[in-house]
Amino acid sequence: MQSRNAGTYNGIDISSWEGNVNFSGVRSDGIDIVYIKATEGTGYINPYMNSTYNNARNNDLKIGFYHFFRANVDAREQARYFVENIGDKTSDCRLALDIETTEGYDAVTLTDMCVDFLEEVKSLSGKEVVVYTYSNFAQTSLTSRLSSYPLWIAAYGVDTPSSNSIWDRWIGFQYSDTGRVSGVNGNCDLDVFTEEIFLSLDVSSTGDQNSSGEEIIYTVKSGDTLSGIAHLYGTTWQNLAEINHLSDPNFIYPGEKIVINHKSYEDIYIVKPGDTLSGIAQLYGTTWQHLAEINHLSNPNLIYPGQSIDVGFENNNSETYVVKSGDTLSGIAQLYGTTWQHLAEINNLRDPNLIYPGEVINIR
């Protein structure tokens, strides 16, 4: 493990214990990064999260969020709870899993849960992750399956954390839980971080243009997922899989080059907490059936925060529409930004409630 002086950024991590914090004082004390506890299990949200986030952001501090893991609660449900409650807040740093209790589970089972959580967070948020734990816990309660994820280690009263069988280096080192920082009432945790704690975007432009806009080349990093890369660029994993001829979109490897055939941001909607497919459809003057079809959604009632939805504007320039089973004239009108009365008139429809599959409807 590196010693403490390997860290180039000073940080603190904050939960509800610290209450209201004066971040102007924190900033003046040389702190660069603030990690905020967001959630725990699936039943606790830090009541100070929003005010802490806003005040830290207003004082130009870099921000990260962490989730305290409870092994007796489903890992993927915890991931969804974490990502949903962060919402649209901007995170400058990797999203952190805080794992420090076993709840009676063995190391293999607990590690599997951690991996499930981390992969779900990556998939839902499109962001990179980090594992927070302390030295003895890593040695006794986790396995090397976590070695592919970077480490934020807690070890107090030492300049260099002790080695363990999983990690040989850290990107975050919490070296004290009795620190004193201006603006914080009482003790707080003190950290140092390397630059790897920040969310990265390792890309290079080819300079080539095509009909869809700028072509970008993304170099896959360890831990990346296709859905995460898609989220970064406001597109869908289906689009990336298609243009990169990926037979298995779940299999990408570090160093692989992914072409981003940059689709207009206006054609992609990023799902927010509380969204429904019908609500998104209404927002864009289309139907939920159309969105479900072009996004290959087997369950239109199941969408999640951070998911990219192709709203398919390019399909709305057609002069005619072929009726499909379940279509209504009002639904087709909404899809094309017109009215059912207009369609009924130009198509000479005596009964606008009677259209049938295969019928051709003039739009213009």
Helix (H) or strand (E) holding 74: none
Environment class of 279 (CB within 10 Å of its CB; exposed 0-12, middle 13-18, buried 19+): exposed
DSSP letter string, 9-49: EEEEEE-GGG-S--HHHHHHTT--EEEEEEEETTTEE-TTH
Helix, strand, coil in percent for the chain, rounding step 5: 30, 25, 45
What are the backbone dihedrals phi and psi of residue 117, each rounded to the nearest 5 degrees, phi first?
Answer: -60, -50
**CA torsion 321→325→326→328, rounded to 10°?**
30
Helix axes 107-125, 75-86, angle to 10 degrees: 30
**Of the listed 29, 77, 92, 100, which one is catalytic?**
100
* Catalytic-role residue among 13, 40, 84, 128: 13
**319 among known catalytic residues:** no
For 219, the enclosing helix (H) or strand (E) is strand 213-219
Q: Is 215 an annotated catalytic residue?
A: no
Among all chains, which residue has been given the structure tokens 């790897």? 196
Q: Is 189 helix (H, G, I), strand (E, B) or coil?
A: strand
Whether the CB-CB separation of 343 and 331 falls below 8 Å is answered with: no
Tell me the C-alpha to C-alpha distance, in Å, between residue 140 and each of 113, 314, 322. Answer: 16, 55, 63
| Placement of tokens 């003057």 in the chain | 285
**Which of 337, 340, 290, 332 is CA-nearest to residue 311?**
290
**How many helices and strands (H and E) does the chain possess?**
11, 16
Return the bridge partners of 362, or none. 320
Give catalytic residues, as residue numbers.
13, 100
